[in-house]
Amino acid sequence: MGTILEINNLIISFDGFRALNGVTTKVEKGEIRFFIGPNGAGKTTLLDAICGRIRPQQGSIIFDGDKNIMHYPEHKLVNIGIGRKFQVPSVFTSLSVYENMEVSVVNDRSIMASLFQPITKAQKEKIDDILDLVDLKDYCDKKAADLSHGQKQWLEIAMLLVQDLQLILLDEPVAGMGRKETIKTGELLKSIAHHCTVIVVEHDMEFVRDYASKVTVMHEGRILDEGSVSQVQNNPKVIDVYLGRGGGNCA
Amino acid sequence: MTTKNFFKTPSSQTFLIIVLLLLIAPLFLSVFRINLLGKFIAYAILAIGIDLIWGYTGILSLGHGVFFGLGAYAMGMYLKMEAAHGKLPDFMSWSGLENLPTVWAPFSNPLSLALIVLVPALLAFIIGYLTFRNRIRGVYFSILSQALSLIFVVFFIGQQAYTGGTNGLTGFRTMFGMPLATDNTKYILYYAAIFLLVLVYLYCHFLVKHRLGKILVAIRDGENRVRFSGYDPAVYKIFVYVSSAVIAGIAGAIFVPQVGIISPAEMGIIPSIEMVIWVAIGGRGTLIGAVIGAILVNGLKSGISESFPEVWSYFLGLTFVIVVIFMPEGLVGLVKKYASKITCPIKKRKATEKASSVN
């Protein structure tokens, strides 16, 4: 399959505090990779670094074999195939579900195109297909503000899917969801992974167990362990810093 | 956007009615009132521009008086040169100037009227580029825009010999050879103002009805999401800021010959905030709300100030508070709410009929 993302010895510090302290990992194509760890382990910081919100002091992030994406401006990442979903659902609440998708689907994002190039038929079909996938087709004309929490999360994922990405970064996609919604989101991730790599930061251990192909456990800015779910679950160090202590509210 | 669609939306229909009323207004009102109404139309043009940047894009500029003032001064300088008949404008000789300053030289040529839009555009571009590129937003941008307004007022007052100081520019006589004091010219200017209002409305309507309008709203709702959807929000914000500044400049230019004076008082912080209040009262993010708000508030202002000059500020402040608390979407939002209450049952019935016929 090949490697889609290669992170080498990443170091990020804020005012002397090392949020990431030498993180090295590789993500293979088609994986659903979970990053877990207690609060402050550096998971979200890692996502922020991958998508250009934070500039690392040291190290490198190589995407798709040869692109060093550390110096890419955020708005150009979509063009090379990286999309990011935020922890708090961030959809455009005053626009309808369909308009949210319309804004996301286009490839030419210049002012001229947004005035003179209407959505093509193929793009319309793509929007319909993906809204179908996330069960939002019946809500096309509904304002995004009126959707439930779960539906907003799915809409945001749908907005990523419509962009033909190679790598999707999700920050706690099931936070605040009920069991049913969580399962639905998990199944959605599985079907996404057929044509796209997914990186997820998550707290919900049950969700991790059910859907991760590989798990990276982080602690205090370092990688503690990496492997299959059962492998990391049996690692005494992991149990000590994370599963053991935080297990009560995470499991 | 076809013309057919334009007349379909309730807001455009309302705009059409307003324009028709304005067109026939000279049949009912004295030339004094028409002149006053022409001034309100200038304000309405300005308000549309503010709605574009604030209502749609969510950028609260509290310094739009500057762009209005720059357009107005460009027009004023041209009229002043015309009134001076090749001599030095009167206030310059009072301040002891003997030669025409270089900034004034181009204004003897009608082509200089292009500066009405070029100067606001350039200023907005520079400020927009520096702020939006550096992701200065929210209240920080508002404060900055307010500082801009303050700087310009202080500058224009300070440079008395060049700008006419606190008194501003006045004493215009003719425009393209037409004497400004005659009724005939006043009617022409009034209709010119309506024409510009229609033009600006159509331009903004064109912007917001296309995908660009959705992107502007998206920037208001979640700039980060827009950025990670592959757009550079700064580009769109600069575009909107420049558009809005140009519109303000046009408004200033049609204001001056009708009112006969432009002074730094018109570009200060307080008028700039008042402009925002018009839009808030009319209804943000609707275009038509801005037009209604500007005309209505200014109409009330002249009505109330004529009889009770001292209560106007209190009245405006109170209205603003009431609007913010009880109708955050302004008058247009209020009408929409009640309209949907009336039409909703009909729509629902139609929808169920449709559904049952499909089954």
Nearest Cα neighbor of B257 from B74, B46, B110 is B74
Q: Which residue has the tokens 């297909």?
A: A129
Beta strands in chain A (DSSP E): 3-14, 17-28, 32-36, 58-63, 67-68, 82-85, 167-171, 197-201, 214-219, 222-227
Cross-chain residue pair A92–B217, CB shorter than 8 Å: yes
In terms of DSSP H, where are the helices of A51-120? 77-80, 97-105, 111-116
pLDDT the model gives residue B309? 81
Please tell me the distance from the alpha carbon of residue B128 to that of residue B236, in angstroms, as a whole number: 10
**Cβ atoms of residues A22 and A11 within 8 Å:** yes
Is the pLDDT assigned to residue B144 strictly greater than 80?
Answer: yes
B183 touches chain A (CB under 8 A): no
Domains defined along chain A, listed by start: 3-250 (3.40.50.300)
Taking the CA of residue B231 and the nearest CA in chain A, the distance in Å comes to 5
**Cβ atoms of residues B283 and B329 within 8 Å:** yes
Q: How far is CA A169 from the centre of its chain?
A: 2
Q: Which residue has the tokens 């247009």?
A: B332
Confidence of residue B345 (pLDDT cuts 50, 70, 90): low
Taking each helix axis as running N to C, give the angle between helix A97-105 and helix B211-221, from 0 to 180 degrees, rounded to the nearest 10. Answer: 100
Cross-chain residue pair A115–B210, CB shorter than 8 Å: yes
At A93-149, the pLDDT tens digits run: 999 999 999 999 999 999 999 999 999 999 999 999 999 999 999 999 999 999 999
Residue B149 exposure: Cα atoms within 13 Å on the Cβ side: 25
Q: Cβ-count burial of B139 within 10 angstroms (0-12 exposed, 13-18 middle, 19+ buried)?
A: exposed
A80-106: buried (b, 16+ CB within 10 Å) or exposed (e) per residue? ebbbbbbeebbbbbbbbbbbbbbbbbb
Within 8 A of B222 by CB-CB distance, chain A residues are 90-93
Mean pLDDT of chain B: 91
Do strands A58-63 and A67-68 pair parallel, antiparallel, or not at all (unpaired)? antiparallel
pLDDT the model gives residue A241? 77
Report, as an integer, the average pLDDT of B66-79. Answer: 96
CA distances from B88 to B92, B95, B104, B263 (A): 7, 11, 10, 19
Query: Within 10 Å of residue B98's Cβ, how many Cβ atoms?
Result: 7
pLDDT the model gives residue A250? 42
Nearest Cα neighbor of A78 from A194, A161, A154, A152 is A161
DSSP string, B113-182: GGHHHHHHHHHHHHHHHHHHHTT--HHHHHHHHHHHHHHHHHHHHH-HHHH-GGG-EE---EETTEETTS
Q: How far is CA B358 from the centre of its chain?
A: 49
CA distances from B167 to A189, B64, B82 (A): 68, 20, 19
**In the 8-state DSSP scheme, what is residue A164?**
-
**Cβ atoms of residues B63 and B246 within 8 Å:** no
Confidence of residue B348 (pLDDT cuts 50, 70, 90): low
Handedness of CA B13, B19, B23, B25 (dihedral sign): positive
Report, as an integer, the average pLDDT of A159-182. Answer: 91
Interface test with A, best of B209, B225, B237 (most A CBs within 10 A): B225
Within 8 A of A110 by CB-CB distance, chain B residues are 235
pLDDT the model gives residue B328? 87
**Cβ atoms of residues A103 and B218 within 8 Å:** yes
What percentage of residues in chain B have a pLDDT greater than 90?
75
Interface test with B, best of A51, A72, A75, A142 (most B CBs within 10 A): A75
Please tell me the distance from the alpha carbon of residue B144 to that of residue B142, in angstroms, as a whole number: 5
Is the pLDDT assigned to residue B356 strictly greater than 90?
Answer: no
